[in-house]
Structure 1
């Protein structure tokens, strides 16, 4: 952690402990909710996002809540630039918590027989390569300090072989396995790794208008659950809870029945 001592001419004041937090995808719904959840006096937030206007608005909200805020307009699809930024920021002021939120949820286009090669490449970069590489770079540094927490945002889709979303479910499954292996390798070094596997996340306005998807959660609720999971150093957070049952159901079904069920979920062409 960064210890900040305020200079003054009066009696000596106790040092203030500052928690340094990285949130990628902070201009998105969940990333913005996580930024707000951690925004308080004593927090120093580094907020990354692709949308400069939304990023500025989130940053202003966090400043008003008493946090110190830095923003960076960056697309993590540029993996070398993202790695350079992560290492430079951590060297300047070490991160205590890194929440790697950004991701793409695109699926096979209407009328397409399979997902395009370009879509597979793009999702592979944003959903797996970028967060895995950034996570590895940051936890290598955290491990030398013997403290820190890393959070990967996966998806409940990683539990199922979705025929219409092979790239999305596949990249999220890869991230889940990477998170599990990284967590085990870092356990002796005091660094925690939390994988979050949410179902649908819909903004508040959809819930208010009655247009939310089944079992969909609001971003602020998910963010609050993630904060608690990080505090507990929880290995895996699945939410809402019915998706944990669906994961078990998928594993227990005989393969022919599972294939038939998954094919039945494919949207009509």
Structure 2
């Protein structure tokens, strides 16, 4: 039975990682309002339960799970258990970490580099591979939440931009294989979203997008079968400029950017 046939017989089952706040919570509530069944993963039990409660208030059936995404093996087992309980139709790998080099440090913290690599790239790639393996015989959709940082060399955020770049390449490569087999993969590359993660950053956050609007754009793009979305639109222009600009100019501009963050 393919994905289209299954969707006619039951409402989709949507799994969202990083659902305890920010964009993940907005994605959960958006799907809840559509009547979808939800499995929500998060790190903070109190916040995750609060999001689950708001989704149940919208009429959704919700299951929650506390998962450590720095442990790819445990995350893989958790996904297999949730899929065995109720086959996942839409897998949204949203969880991520953000960090930058401290102003007084020579380099980024190696432990944070490790954590960002695991949470932003390794674990979602493992989970997407597991999800694809389960979905290919029956149909489904995968959504990978990346960042516009993937397209720029950020000297103050090498681990973040590097891990998101890896995720972006993995997502588009996986899509080339799975889309012809009825499992499209959508890569999402947002700019600044008004979440606790972005609020840690000092200075301006241009073209800030509210989580609810971001969730709507993502869900619509996935339903339309898009491969990649960048929003808001000025960041698409910046990506093109970065691709076309000479290296010396890019290096000079990015080298002058100063960013700090609160703890």
Q: TM above 0.5, one fold?
A: yes
Structure with the largest fraction of strand: 1
RMSD between aligned residues:
2.1
The residue matched to 1:191 in structure 2 has which SS?
coil
Counterpart mapping for 1:104-119 below 5 A? 104-119=97-112
User: In the TM superposition, what whole-angstrom CA distance separates every residue of 1:21-64 from its partner, at most 9, and x where no partner exists?
Assistant: 00000002100000000003641100000111111111111111
Residue of structure 1 in register with 2:172 after alignment? 180
Residue ranges of structure 1 left out of the alignment (5+ in a row): 5-14
Residue in structure 2 matching 1:94, options 68, 87, 90: 87
Residue of structure 2 in register with 1:237 after alignment? 229
Is 2:223 aligned against 1:195? no
Residue of structure 2 in register with 1:23 after alignment? 16
Task: Indicate the structure (1 or 2) with the bigger Cα radius of gyration.
Answer: 1
Residue of structure 2 in register with 1:37 after alignment? 30
Residue of structure 2 in register with 1:70 after alignment? 63
Residue ranges of structure 2 left out of the alignment (5+ in a row): none
Q: Distance in 2 between matches of 1:126 and 1:32?
A: 18
Counterpart mapping for 1:43-82 below 5 A? 43-82=36-75
Residue of structure 1 in register with 2:149 after alignment? 157
User: In the TM superposition, what whole-angstrom CA distance separates every residue of 1:163-212 from its partner, at most 9, and x where no partner exists?
Assistant: 000110000000000000000011221001000000111149x99xxx97
Residue of structure 1 in register with 2:126 after alignment? 133
Residue of structure 2 in register with 1:8 after alignment? none
CA distance 1:71–1:267, shift in 2 (3 Å): closer
Answer whether contact 1:17 1:42 (CA < 8 A) is retained: no
Q: What is the CA distance between 1:118 and its match in structure 2?
A: 1.2
Q: What is the CA distance between 1:155 and its match in structure 2?
A: 0.3
CA distance 1:41–1:102, shift in 2 (3 Å): closer
Q: Which runs of 4+ in 1 moved over 6 A?
A: 1-4
Q: How many aligned residue pairs are there?
A: 253
CA distance 1:126–1:227, shift in 2 (3 Å): same
User: In the TM superposition, what whole-angstrom CA distance separates every residue of 1:230-250 from its partner, at most 9, and x where no partner exists?
Assistant: 101110010000000000000
Name the TM-score, length of structure 1 as normaliser: 0.89
Residue in structure 1 matching 2:78, options 79, 85, 92: 85
Q: Distance in 2 between matches of 1:244 and 1:119?
A: 28
Q: Distance in 1 between matches of 2:94 and 2:204?
A: 21
**RCO higher in 1 or 2 (8 Å CA, sep ≥ 6)?**
2
The residue matched to 1:234 in structure 2 has which SS?
coil
Answer whether contact 2:21 2:51 (CA < 8 A) is retained: no
